Amino acid sequence: MRIDLHTHSSVSDGTDTPGELVRAAAAAGLDVVALTDHDTLAGVEAARAAAEPYVLEVVPGVEVSCVVDGISLHLLGYWPDPAHPGLAAELALNRDDRVPRAQEIVRRLAAAGHPITWDDVLRHVADGATVGRPHVADTLVDLGVVPDRDTAFATLLHNESPFYVTHHATDPAEAVRLVAAAGGATVFAHPGAGRRGRLVDDDVVVRLAAAGLAGLEVDHPDHDEVARAHYRVLAAELGLLTTGSSDYHGTGKLQGIGACTTAPEVFEALRDRAARGSAA
């Protein structure tokens, strides 16, 4: 069994459509793939339809943008009902506020002399997709300002950059409760991905575990061996599951789909947690 529980389609900042992503998952020999676009579950139906010819389970998921003490973090919600009013409203807040935020990033880039407009960026965002910095990055590549997404993030778009702007994001304990109320289970995405910006302290993980967090994403392309070992120990101490996933973004990142995977027994335990709700 090969299980990848973290992927992005063009419904957020990945470059594959949900259908293309599912075909890539099947071609990579995956048995289970979770579609976890940023702040939306809008691609899940198309992904499931595309999976019909294959023996491939598509798990409905979402990567919820969160913030605590001014530090941004991501929580993966699995199997939530996308129609749950509380969760749907909160995801909409995150999505909607990403638009003026991306516009402000563009305004600052333009003010600094980079030849970029909001219309340029819109050409890189699929209809109805969650807007993110990767779309600004793709636009900068297109305009010849930088050679690739990675360079855009390393030079102009990183979290400490003068062009960086925050957006509304969910309190993580609230995200855990909302996903549980919507019938899902939550995993802390790439808790040790320090290259992206500041990391939250372990006591935040302790608090989220108490709020009903089900697991930590331990095996992730942005985690070195030290981070993996650290979060494996923390998960054991707190009774949390440990997942592994690629965080595939199509051609937007180097890692292929299935680059990291989750053990079948962990996947089944996660499914049980979603079925049981937050009564941990």
C-alpha 105/C-alpha 3 separation (Å) is 36
Judged by CB, which is closer to Fe ion: 48, or 196? 196
Kindly identify the residues of this chain, within the stretch 199-258, that bind ligand AMP according to CB under 6 A.
Answer: 249, 252-253
152: enclosing H helix or E strand: helix 149-152
**What separation, in Å, do the N-terminal and C-terminal C-alpha atoms of the chain show?**
27
Q: What is the smallest separation between the CB atom of 36 and Zn ion, expressed in angstroms?
A: 6
By CB under 6 A, tell whether 43 contacts ligand AMP. Answer: no
By CB under 6 A, tell whether 124 contacts ligand AMP. Answer: no
Selection from Fe ion, Zn ion, ligand AMP, none that 149 binds (CB < 5 to 8 A by kind) is ligand AMP
By CB under 6 A, tell whether 133 contacts ligand AMP. Answer: yes
C-alpha 145/C-alpha 125 separation (Å) is 19
Q: Give 171's contacts (C-beta < 8 A, 6+ positions apart).
A: 66, 67, 68
Of positions 9, 11, 13, 172, contacts ligand AMP by CB under 6 A: 13
Closest by CA to 106, choosing from 124, 129, 93, is 124
Q: What is the smallest separation between the CB atom of 3 and ligand AMP, expressed in angstroms?
A: 21
Residues 43-72, one symbol each (x = binds Zn ion by CB under 5 A, - = not), give --------------------x---------
Q: What is the smallest separation between the CB atom of 73 and ligand AMP, expressed in angstroms?
A: 11
Closest by CA to 173, choosing from 86, 85, 68, is 68
| Three-state SS at 121 | helix
C-alpha 21/C-alpha 19 separation (Å) is 5
How many residues of this chain interact with ligand AMP, rule: CB under 6 A? 12
Kindly identify the residues of this chain, within the stretch 147-176, that bind ligand AMP according to CB under 6 A.
Answer: 149-150, 153
Of positions 105, 247, 257, 270, contacts Zn ion by CB under 5 A: 247
CB 264 within 8 A of CB 1: yes
Judged by CB, which is closer to ligand AMP: 6, or 273? 6
By CB under 5 A, tell whether 37 contacts Fe ion. Answer: no
By CB under 5 A, tell whether 13 contacts Fe ion. Answer: yes
By CB under 6 A, tell whether 134 contacts ligand AMP. Answer: yes
- CA 29 to each of CA 50, 103, 265: distance values in angstroms, whole numbers, following the listed order: 15, 40, 19
C-alpha 279/C-alpha 273 separation (Å) is 9
Judged by CB, which is closer to Zn ion: 4, or 247? 247
CB 253 within 8 A of CB 26: no
Neighbours of 91 (CB within 10 A): 26
Judged by CB, which is closer to ligand AMP: 25, or 152? 152
Residues 186-205, one symbol each (x = binds Fe ion by CB under 5 A, - = not), give ---x----------------
Q: Give the binding site for ligand AMP (CB under 6 A).
A: 13, 38, 132-134, 149-150, 153, 196, 249, 252-253
State the residues that interact with Fe ion by CB under 5 A.
Answer: 13, 74, 189
